[in-house]
Structure 1
Amino acid sequence: MNSTWLILALILVIAAVIFLYLAEKKKKSEPNGPHGSRGSNSAGQRQDPLKFADGSNEFNARILGPGAIITYGATDYVCRGAIQLRQGQYVWHEYLLDGGKGSEYFSVEYDEGQLKLGWWISRPDLDLTPEREVTVEGVRYLKTESGMGTFSSEGTTGVAESGDYEYWDMAEAGGNRLFSLERYGTDGPLEASLGWKILPGELKVYPAPEA
């Protein structure tokens, strides 16, 4: 009888040792905290599964810039210069193009994680001042936003390498046709442009050469 109890006690001790060993091993294998081990913020973080589904990887500043080729509407445009615009944490880009009818440029911005592309034609013949509502060539545009920030440029742009920037953005009721007034520098002239929204699939981008 005593030997039976001794055997049972021995089995329980062995089971307890195995249980403690496995528990400690599991604890060591688990990450430290909800976002992974200390010192590694990326481990365990979930990523947006549609991050590049909209073609945004083709339109970043590493791909676009002076020397890039953009095909739109069966016309090849050469990017002559790039302007980066910044307002606080918000950054967007404009790319001045050579080809087509001339005076055309292309804008790239992200608004709440959504890629927005615009095609623009400079209109120096339009002498307009910022208003809540303007009518241009029979189209009524309403103000959507305005603000001030800074800019930096590279290549041939016609503006300084850096400075202050003001903008007034407007759109027709449907939102597809656009109108913009921009001022580069504190005493620069107001520059008017007409534009429209485009989709990533409407363009083909050939990357700019490496700097």
Structure 2
Amino acid sequence: MHEPMSSASHQILAKGLPPGTTVRIRNEPKVIRGAVHADDGQYLWCEYFLGDGWLTTEIEGDDVLLSTWTRRPAGSADFSFDDPRAKGVRLVEIARGQADFRAFGEFGEGVAPGDLGRLEYVEYGAPGPRAAVERFAPDAPWLLGTGTDLAPRDFALA
């Protein structure tokens, strides 16, 4: 079970944070350089490019789940769609689908500012590591992200 988030923070995160917003992750200030807002009809999430990594907020009813992510091309030698693993742990597919997305700001890879369209994703889980792959167009390369859950106490709007 995770810690509850304040109602005000939940409402702000549910609307999405614009590029230029400063957040604190584990008391370290980070500036959001880009944001991708995605909605698959059941879940709403936002991915925030911080320059040296990503912050993701997932909205599930009254809950906001926070996590930090690192990304790299899914064709990396240490990841296979046939045998998905993260940190040496075998992963199990827990979700697959498509979502409408809109991109704001700047990014290091995979999506351009002003892009909107439909992304594809596959989410994996296991005790411990989290991983997901996504691509922003049918002919775009898959991007692999490995994630770590973030407690609400480790996040603040600066």
Please say which structure displays the higher CA radius of gyration.
1
Structure with higher RCO (Cα < 8 A, 6+ apart) = 2
The residue aligned with 1:123 is 72
Question: Scaled by the length of structure 1, what TM-score is found?
Answer: 0.62
Residue of 73, 76, 82 corresponding to 2:35 = 82
Give the Cα–Cα distance (whole angstroms) in 1 for the partners of residues 97 and 104 of structure 2.
23
Matched, 1:91 2:91: no
Matched, 1:198 2:147: no
Higher normalized strand content (fraction of residues): 2
Once the 2 structures are TM-superposed, how far is the Cα of residue 129 of structure 1 from its aligned partner? 4.7
Give the Cα–Cα distance (whole angstroms) in 2 for the partners of residues 203 and 154 of structure 1.
21
Higher normalized helix content (fraction of residues): 1
Query: Which ranges in structure 1 are unaligned for 5 or more consecutive residues?
Result: 1-49, 207-211
Give the Cα–Cα distance (whole angstroms) in 1 for the partners of residues 134 and 80 of structure 2.
10
* Residues matched between the structures, number: 149
Question: Scaled by the length of structure 2, what TM-score is found?
Answer: 0.81
Give the Cα–Cα distance (whole angstroms) in 1 for the partners of residues 40 and 146 of structure 2.
22
Query: Which ranges in structure 2 are unaligned for 5 or more consecutive residues?
Result: none
Structure 1 residues 130, 111: closer, same or farther in 2, change over 3 A? farther
Residue of 114, 119, 130 corresponding to 1:165 = 119
Task: Spell out the pairing of 1:28-43 with structure 2 (5 A cutoff).
Answer: none
When structure 1 is superposed on structure 2, of 81-90 and 144-153 the one drifting more is 81-90
The residue aligned with 1:150 is 100
Which amino acid in 2 is paired with 1:194?
Answer: T
Give the Cα–Cα distance (whole angstroms) in 1 for the partners of residues 12 and 38 of structure 2.
19
Task: Spell out the pairing of 1:4-153 with structure 2 (5 A cutoff).
Answer: 52-53=6-7, 55-61=9-15, 64-98=17-51, 102=52, 104-124=53-73, 126-127=76-77, 128-131=79-82, 134-153=84-103
Once the 2 structures are TM-superposed, how far is the Cα of residue 177 of structure 1 from its aligned partner? 2.2
RMSD: 2.4
When structure 1 is superposed on structure 2, of 53-62 and 79-88 the one drifting more is 53-62
